[in-house]
Amino acid sequence: MDHDQLTTTMRRLALEAGDRIMEIYEADDFEVRSKTDESPVTAADEAADALISAGLRAAFPDVTLITEEQADTHALEARDFLIVDPLDGTKEFIHRRGDFTVNIALVENGVPTRGVVYAPAKNRLFYTDASGQSVEETGDFDKETPGPTTPIRVSEPDTAALMVVASKSHRDQATDDYINRYPVKDSRSAGSSLKFCLVATGEADFYPRLGRTMEWDTAAGHAVLNGAGGQVLRLDDLQTLTYGKPGFANPFFVATAPGIDLTPV
């Protein structure tokens, strides 16, 4: 895998998909349907999926591609694959809350090593560069010419006054009970894979998820967090979350900066 080409391609496709998503987001109305698992889907999900899938298949025809909107057709046999959630945070999109993202990642031997997370309504773009270092880009987000980038790094947590970020749409009592195990200075809510990026930039120290997620929900954010010195651990045994699992379902996990004395669930 040519990581320079991958970074350029993922960044461009995420921005192009973000433009298409925002066209629909800013329309007067859009249709919302239910998938077979009762989760919502919109034309924006499908348009972004088609755009990203076509671009990745053209650039990397020999690499296995997994996307949320085509998951029912996937039979994963490779340990190295591209994985896409074209619109993470569909509920945030539907309710026009802005906390939705485009997510593209490369998984190598079960580990997300490269990824891009783009929040078009928030004008925030995070990705791993060719070396694997995570950066946040600012500027005009030109499709061909990257703007200024700043390397991002997780916090050095004050274990007596932790900063936590949790799901906006899926926060529940179990999550609150877990958070209450720790001395928390402040808690904020965010949607989609932005939560991983807030840990990656040091805006939060940890993000626990005690609820259902799929690998395409987490891979790009996980890659960005890895490239910023963070980690994503299973909550049952505090081992690293891996990818390529049967059915693509994740266990409960915590995305965190190092240095917090975590407890399993």
90 labelled ligand-binding: yes
CA distance 253 to 232: 7
Question: From 3.40.190.10, 1.10.3720.10, 3.40.630.10, 3.40.190.80, which CATH number describes the 162-256 domain?
Answer: 3.40.190.80
CA distance 168 to 210: 13
Q: By mean pLDDT, which of 49-53, 73-77, 143-147, 234-238 is the weakest?
A: 73-77
How much of the chain exceeds pLDDT 90, in percent?
Answer: 77
Token pair of 147, please? 């703007």
73 labelled ligand-binding: no
Is the pLDDT score of 165 beyond 70? Answer: yes
Tens digit of each residue's pLDDT (9 = 90 or more) over 87-97: 998 888 888 88
125 labelled ligand-binding: no
pTM > 0.85: yes or no: yes
68 labelled ligand-binding: yes
**Helix, strand, or coil here: 147?**
coil
How much of the chain exceeds pLDDT 70, in percent?
Answer: 92
CA distance 241 to 250: 8
Tens digit of each residue's pLDDT (9 = 90 or more) over 168-211: 766 788 999 999 999 999 999 898 899 999 999 999 999 999 99
pLDDT on residue 183: 96
Question: From 3.40.50.2300, 3.40.50.720, 3.40.605.10, 3.30.540.10, which CATH number describes the 3-151 domain?
Answer: 3.30.540.10
Whether the CB-CB separation of 207 and 197 falls below 8 Å is answered with no
**Domain boundaries in the chain?**
3-151, 162-256
233 labelled ligand-binding: no
Contacts of 22-28 with CB under 8 Å at 24 or more apart are 22/120, 22/121, 25/93, 25/96, 25/120, 25/121
pLDDT on residue 69: 74
Which H, E and C letters describe 5-32, residue by residue? Answer: HHHHHHHHHHHHHHHHHHHHHCCCCCCE
65 labelled ligand-binding: no
158 labelled ligand-binding: no
